[in-house]
Amino acid sequence: MGTITSRKRADGTQGHTAQIRIKRGGIVVHTEAQTFDRKQAAEAWLKRRESDLAQPGALDKLLNPTPDPLLSATITRYLEETLKTAGKTKAQVLASIQRAPIGALRCSQVTSPRIIEFLQALPGQPQTKGNYLSHLASVIRVAGPAWGYQLSAKELDDARTVAAHMGLVTRSRQRDRRPTLAELDQLLDHFSATRSARTDAIPMVDIIVYAMFSTRREAEITRQVFEDLDEAHGELWVRDMKHPGEKLGNDVRTHLPPEALRLVIKRRGSDPARTGRIFPHSADSISSRFTRACQLLGIDDLVFHDLRHDGISRLFELGWTIPQVATVSGHRSWASLQRYTHIRVRGDKYAGWAWLHRAGITDPPAADRPTASSPMPP
């Protein structure tokens, strides 16, 4: 398969050219050569290359090289061909990566050092950079195995390790802020007065109370419909529940604590066949009104999502187990709820709270109220 030809150069020195020619069906399909000053070096190279090319599939890789498009083009294909629709944030992040210098690199050039350079040049906090790295990883882990692109998962993992050691990326800090009863009284009094003055105003009292007891996020609240309610079993579907890997199609059947169930029934009214959204409003409107009210009332560092944290914490304070709480919160991984395991059983902080009656969901009877001994919701 290989030959070595020795020739005298113009300067009088001897050159030794090792050449490999491979034929298929009598036709030369591959050739390569390299010249050395020493014949022993030429022989060693020839022996090594012949051994390499004798490996299964080695010649096919040379004849049919792995596609190596630009990273920006790879991201475009990822967005076009993946069945899961990217959320707004993910799409924006990937578009930013396409416009960055790293987007102009061939896939084979996206190495750990290049990823680190990209993160170092990226403005923002470590949490933000961590999100960028996570979304880039989703492309790399698909494009290599699915399309044969030269994007290395090992280079990605190396970059993750280095970035963490350098402090370039970190997980978002977990918030522990919970509203006090006094703060909730302020907020609900404010929104009750607003609703009295304008009957067409968003029913923020109902939304806040429902968020607290159902543990739902604002976007999830606005997507829930009466048709998905199973009143007999106290369950309600959450469509497109937030999940790191699935923005759309992640539908989860969740258990409604008694207070949340009563509020849904109240909003349904006397027509059990009522259809449509329970809260037909936009998540942005809900969030912005909540934020403005907090600013107006002088309530510091409280966001709408803190109501979900409070609702989950309450269930643990009632003595619920992680599997039980997960049926309400919708967490797929129980590990996500480990942060709550330090909470002591101390009863219901909302027992006897006046707003349960004012919101139209009176205190549940003792037999109906969840306790430490309550069975796991079905």
pLDDT for 171 equals 67
Least confident of 56-70, 113-127, 158-172: 56-70
Split at pLDDT 50, 70, 90, the class of 270 is confident
Contact 140, 156 (CB under 8 A): yes
DSSP character for 12? S
> Does the pLDDT at position 36 exceed 60?
yes
Contact between 217 and 242 (Cβ < 8 Å): yes
Residue 145 has pLDDT above 50, yes or no: yes
State residue 343's pLDDT score: 85
The mean predicted confidence, pLDDT, of the chain is 87
User: In which band, very low, low, confident or very high, does the pLDDT at 80 lie, cut at 50, 70 and 90?
Assistant: confident
Exposure string of 325-357, with b = 16+ CB inside 10 Å and e = fewer, is bbbbbbbeeeeebeebeeeeeeebebeebebbe
* Three-point CA angle 159, 81, 62, nearest 5°: 65
In percent, the amount of the chain with pLDDT more than 70 equals 91
**Is the pLDDT assigned to residue 215 strictly greater than 70?**
yes
Per mean pLDDT, which range of 8-12, 207-211, 212-216 is the poorest?
A: 8-12
Mean pLDDT confidence for 242-256: 73
Ordered by start, the domain boundaries in the chain are 2-63, 71-166, 181-223+281-358
| Region 367-377 average pLDDT | 45
